[in-house]
Structure 1
Amino acid sequence: MKDHARSTRTRTGGRRRRSSDRKKHQLGSEPTETTVGERRLKTVEARGGTEKVRAMQTDTATVATDDGTVAATIESVAENPANPNYARRNILTKGAVIETDAGRARVTSRPGQDGQVNAVLVE
């Protein structure tokens, strides 16, 4: 059971022991690898009683152009700086460059966190 707490080692290399057990809110979750496909959403409970909408699959993006915004269809993921394998597997993350019918665009939102794809034209 991993959590996102501080290192278990001190600066000099000594072992730092836990002062308390792990709490549920300290746990992370598996990354939502949003793929290109027919739109499929999933809601998850977040801390504080709020809900997050995660995009499991999506095929549309809101692309910002010089004239305003336009709803575009995502064709594929051209490149993904987060992981080279993500581009091959058509996985959308923030910063991914996507091929749309409006042209090449870079994703500015986090589809796995807020359930939508916002992008800005690259060329």
Structure 2
Amino acid sequence: MKKSVENLATSKITGGRRYPLRTRRKYEIDRYSVEAIPGPHVTITRKVRGYNRKTALKTTDFVNLSIPDGKVKRVKILKVLKNPASSDYERRGVISKGAILETENGQCKVVSRPGQDGAVNAILIK
């Protein structure tokens, strides 16, 4: 059975160097995530695979709130109450999908992905 070559820092048993099978492709390279927080509206546009562009939200003051009668209102965000994605996000007040926000109309749950979509859409829960 052949051993996997994971640690390229060590040398071979014969004393030679280890070479990777291939290098990382451009689309495999990771980047820092854009984490939306409450503040004056700022967006970032970045290039992604296939000559496309992705708009991410860095900071925002407002949320597109869907209310039960079928209308959508633009409402001011007061604070981030809870974020089940991470306790660190909750402490820092990061807005991500599933976060519970306090708004002028009450509590709402974020249903969009602000770091991917460039907008904060939410539904009223209380």
Q: What TM-score does the superposition give when structure 2 sets the normalisation length?
A: 0.82
Deviation at 1:31, TM superposition (A): 1.2
Query: In the alignment, which of 20, 23, 27 is matched to residue 21 of structure 1?
Result: 23
Q: Quote the sequence identity (%).
A: 34
Aligned partners of 1:16 and 1:112: how far apart in 2? 36
- Residue 65 (structure 1) shift: 0.9
Instruction: List structure 1 segments (4+ residues) > 6 angstroms apart after TM superposition.
Output: none
Larger-Rg structure: 2
Q: Aligned Cα RMSD in Å?
A: 1.6
1:63-86 CA distance string (max 9 Å, x none) = 111122111111110000011121
Alignment correspondent of 1:84 = 87
Find 1:96's aligned residue among 85, 95, 99.
Answer: 99
User: What are structure 1's unaligned runs of at least 5 residues?
Assistant: 1-13
Greater Cα shift, 84-93 or 99-108 = 84-93
- Deviation, 1:16, is 5.5
Normalising by structure 1, report the TM-score: 0.83
Cα-to-partner distance string for 1:83-120 (whole Å, 9 max, x where unaligned): 11212211111110001111100100000111100001
Correspondence 1:1-123 to 2 at 5 A: 14-15=3-4, 19-67=21-69, 68-123=71-126
